[in-house]
Amino acid sequence: MNQTTTRPATETRTGDGATPVIEIRDLHKAYGSLEVLKGVDLVAPRGHVVSLIGSSGSGKSTLLRCANLLEDSQSGEIIFEGEPVRWRGAGANRHPADRRQVIRIRTNLAMVFQQFNLWSHMTILQNVMEAPITVLGEDREEVEARARALLDKVGIGDKADAWPAQLSGGQQQRAAIARALAMQPRALLFDEPTSALDPELEQEVVKVIKELAEEGRTMIVVTHDMRLAADISDHVVFLHKGLVEEEGPPEALFGDPKSERLRQFLSATAPA
């Protein structure tokens, strides 16, 4: 299988040696006796797109949730812009030690989930505006102007006053992306952003994600879509049974995979 597509370079992708936005070292995560992450390393440099691929249960989404501190890991380091997360306790009793640090990191790592998670009792515009106003304390007029611009950016500016239930799945996911962007985060984390959509609606969201990649935004993308991963990524990580089985630039992983397990995975996910 060879799905590699050359993506135009942007100025932010030149690798200037700056501190990575996210760095994970030897991360372990278990649910009871089930060890999901068995010592994973991951680096997301500023302005780069890192895609996580692998079979269901390989640890992709868990790794993303640990990076955003939505899940507590048992050991290993999570470093945000050079600042290590501070922990108290050990093993199953390990938790972040500084609640303010957690809030600050989560605020700067905006998450886009598979199931949209829009607030049903708010209009689309209100959904996008809510966090910058309530969490960041920003001026309402400034936030509204930014929110409307972001809805235009993702192609649903005409849906600002609609309710989530009135939108298609693709439109709801684009609203969720606009909501994440409204926080002006350091990085965007996508957890299977297109897997809940039918193919036609999926392409609406893929188009937006590709445009964000071209802008040089820092992103970590968990995806089942190998073509999307090939198109947008600077670096691809293949997880297998909680470990990094193989990683590298997309042209290497998709064009000349070294791992037999990765070759099997790509063969199974190739279009018919």
Query: pLDDT, tens digit, for every residue of 40-83?
Result: 999 999 999 999 999 999 999 999 999 999 999 999 999 999 99
In this prediction, residue 199 carries a pLDDT of 86
Judge whether 76 lies within some domain: yes
CA distance 76 to 39: 8
In this prediction, residue 21 carries a pLDDT of 97
Judge whether 217 lies within some domain: yes
Average pLDDT of the chain is 92
In this prediction, residue 17 carries a pLDDT of 56
pTM listed for this prediction: 0.90
Judge whether 169 lies within some domain: no
Q: Tokens 């009792």 — which residue?
A: 121
Sheet holding 22-31, edge to edge: 34-44, 22-31, 75-80, 83-84
Q: Is the pLDDT of residue 14 over 50?
A: no
Q: Are 50 and 99 in contact (CB under 8 A)?
A: no
Judge whether 68 lies within some domain: yes
What percentage of the chain reaches a pLDDT higher than 70?
93
Q: Is the pLDDT of residue 13 over 50?
A: no
* The two structure tokens encoding residue 102: 């957690």
Give the residue, 261 or 270, on which the prediction is more confident. 261
Q: Are 27 and 39 in contact (CB under 8 A)?
A: yes
Using DSSP's 3-state secondary structure scheme, residue 99 falls into helix
Q: Is the pLDDT of residue 35 over 90?
A: yes
**Residues 12-16, mean pLDDT to the nearest whole number:** 41
Length of the chain: 272
What CATH number is given to the structural domain containing 241? Answer: 3.40.50.300
Closest C-alpha among 210, 258, 257, 256 to residue 233 = 210
Q: Tokens 């590709």 — which residue?
A: 210
CA distance 246 to 227: 18
Q: Tell me the residue range of the domain where 263 lies.
A: 20-115+188-269
Q: Are 38 and 224 in contact (CB under 8 A)?
A: no
**Residues 234-254, mean pLDDT to the nearest whole number:** 97
State pLDDT tens for residues 199-221: 888 999 999 999 999 999 999 99
Judge whether 173 lies within some domain: no
Judge whether 161 lies within some domain: no
Judge whether 151 lies within some domain: no
Using DSSP's 3-state secondary structure scheme, residue 247 falls into strand
Place 8 in a pLDDT band, splitting at 50, 70 and 90.
Answer: very low
Judge whether 216 lies within some domain: yes
Number of structural domains found in the chain? 1
Using DSSP's 3-state secondary structure scheme, residue 255 falls into helix
State pLDDT tens for residues 138-196: 999 999 999 999 999 999 999 999 999 999 999 999 999 999 999 999 999 999 999 88
In this prediction, residue 272 carries a pLDDT of 53
